[in-house]
Chains A and B, each alone.
Chain A
């Protein structure tokens, strides 16, 4: 079945720093790829997604590009804010429509 490996945290950055959270996947066929974010005390929210190779998902300054050749979907943001502090989950969804999640990466941004 599908699987996701993402960078282990925690990650601590200063405000305005550049963020990269690595995510690689294994899957049969052509899965859709997602990044979810979980703010403290809240449920998971979809941050961005990509459904085919070379697609770039983007939202709130975050970006991730579906790289089939490297089976990766790394999350990036050019300038993080304190309000970006959260746990980020990479996920894949195959033909069964079940979501398979990575372990999550906790990000803390200090002012």
Chain B
């Protein structure tokens, strides 16, 4: 199957700093990428949908100025958590999709904000 990578796999940062997470589709071109957030023992919650070359569509309750998404190419999307605070600590997962096909998920990034 198709492979999606995320980098870094885990990151620890100080409160108030910004953190960038990369999501790459390694062997296919993804027209759409999705960003999810997962709290312990909770479901994956969709944060935003991004299409290459256009602005991301955010889900209700997700602050677009805090979670900046850039989908500059068909193989790369980035999520930047700006001015991170401890409550932003979570597991962030991306997925990539080609047109209307199956979503392929990355392994996730564990963010801890001190």
A→B interface (CB under 8 Å): 4, 36, 41-46, 89, 97-104
Question: Which 9 residue pairs are nearest across A and B when measured between Cβ atoms?
Answer: A43-B105, A44-B105, A43-B107, A101-B43, A103-B43, A101-B44, A43-B106, A42-B107, A98-B46
Main secondary structure of the interface of B (DSSP, over half): strand
Interface set, chain B 90-112, CB cutoff 8 A to A:
93, 95, 100, 102-108
Sort chain B's interface into a size bin. 20 to 34
Contact of A98 (CB < 8 Å), options: B6, B42, B49, B107: B49
Chain A CB within 8 A of B1 CB: yes
Which A residues are in CB contact (< 8 Å) with B84? none
Which B residues are in CB contact (< 8 Å) with A99? 34, 44, 46, 103
Which A residues are in CB contact (< 8 Å) with B4? 43
